[in-house]
Amino acid sequence: MEPAIRIRGVRKRYGSVTAVNGIDLEIEAGQVYALLGPNGAGKTTLLEILEGYRVRDDGEVSVLGMDPGRERGELNRRVGIVLQRSTPMEGLTPREMLNFTAKLYEHPMHPSEALDLVGLSEHADRVGGKLSGGQKRRLDLAISVIGNPDLIFLDEPTTGFDATARRQAWEVVRGLTERGTTVILTTHYLDEAEHLAQRIGMIKDGQIVFEGDVEGLRRQLESETRISWRPPAGFDPSSLPAEWADQRTGADGRLSLPTQHPTRDAGRLIDWAREHGIDELNGLQVERPDLEELYLELVGDGSEAATVDGAAR
């Protein structure tokens, strides 16, 4: 199957600053791809090139088989975009805005279906000026899907959502990919990327510094999983299996083992416990580093890496 997006050697310069520095990337159709990076990394510039809003200096770009720099009009009929910041027409209702937008497409979704998809049906006839921030973001999403696009760019789509609304939005995104839609997601909620994306690309200094899934990132960084438990009073640590010789004792008395082989080492610990008549390993935990920890390890923990790039367009 033809990739939804294929780019080769893409560069963009602003005077002496190279914002995008020779990026190569392929994104398969029908998946959620999360594009992450600190402020100033070049992520927004790359997205604008893919959307046809920014002219590249060098390289080749194919989006749905088209060059966005030359075929932007045709591409717009097959792409939906949720910008980081947008404002609905204050005097129109969501239903009216969707009815209007649907007329721009050849085979649009019915407005009621789009409203149901994003959970906005109850507020379909409330004027835009009276919608909450979260409801406006739902409307943005509905507008992006009304044309039944093959590809959607979601830039911080759940900004302003509470925890419940965010998870509802995740179900919407999953539903889109079940329809075969490709989703390019940017978000400052790293758990959102971890839950939704089949693949992740991380940009730093205008270059892709990682591309793959979360497990691949863990392997690349050789990030340690930790097995920990709380031993009983009077416990003799010298009786532990050999691999626990590097155990670390925390302030709370927990024993902790860093490991690259958590399944094997947890199994050996359980076998050891049975052999020594220990029926219960109190507080046993196997903790893998989450995407936020991996992200900070890769791009640094300075102020620029505190959140994912959220520069306004």
Q: What is the CATH number of the domain that holds 253?
A: 3.30.70
Residue-level length of the chain: 313
Note whether residue 292 is domain-resident. Answer: no
Q: Mean pLDDT across the stretch 133-159?
A: 88
Name the band, by pLDDT with cuts 50, 70 and 90, for residue 308.
very low
User: Are 99 and 127 in a shared domain?
Assistant: yes
pLDDT at 165: 79
Of 219, 241, 269, the one marking the end of a domain is 219
For residues 233 and 114, membership in a common domain is answered with no
**What's the confidence (pLDDT) of residue 132?**
84
The DSSP result for 214-280, as a single string, is: HHHHHHHHTPPEEEEE-PPTT--GGGS-GGGGG-EE-TTS-EEEEES-HHHHHHHHHHHHHHTT---
Question: Is pLDDT at 303 greater than 80 in this prediction?
Answer: no
Mean pLDDT of 64-71: 93
How is residue 130 written in tokens?
A: 């009276």
CA angle 148, 10, 219 (to 5 degrees): 85
CATH number at residue 118: 3.40.50.300
User: Do 55 and 194 belong to one domain?
Assistant: yes
Task: Describe the strand order of the beta sheet including 151-155 as a list of residue ranges.
Answer: 79-82, 151-155, 182-186, 32-36, 199-204, 207-212
Q: Is residue 110 part of a domain?
A: yes
Do 15 and 155 lie in one domain? The reply is yes
Residue 300 banded pLDDT, cuts 50, 70, 90: low
- Kindly tell me if the per-residue pLDDT of 55 is higher than 70: yes
Q: Which of 219, 251, 276 is the last residue of a domain?
A: 219
Query: Higher model confidence: residue 65 or residue 214?
Result: 65
- Please state the domain count of the chain: 2
pLDDT score of 183: 95
Q: Is the pLDDT of residue 302 over 50?
A: no
Q: How far is CA 38 from CA 42, 49, 291, 309, in A?
A: 9, 18, 14, 5
Taking CB atoms within 8 Å and a gap of at least 24, the contacts of 274-277 are 276/239
The pLDDT of residue 310 is above 50 = no
Statement to judge: residues 34 and 114 lie in one domain: yes
- The parent domain of residue 96 ranges over 5-219
- Pairing outcome for strands 255-259 and 248-249: antiparallel
DSSP structural state of residue 66: B
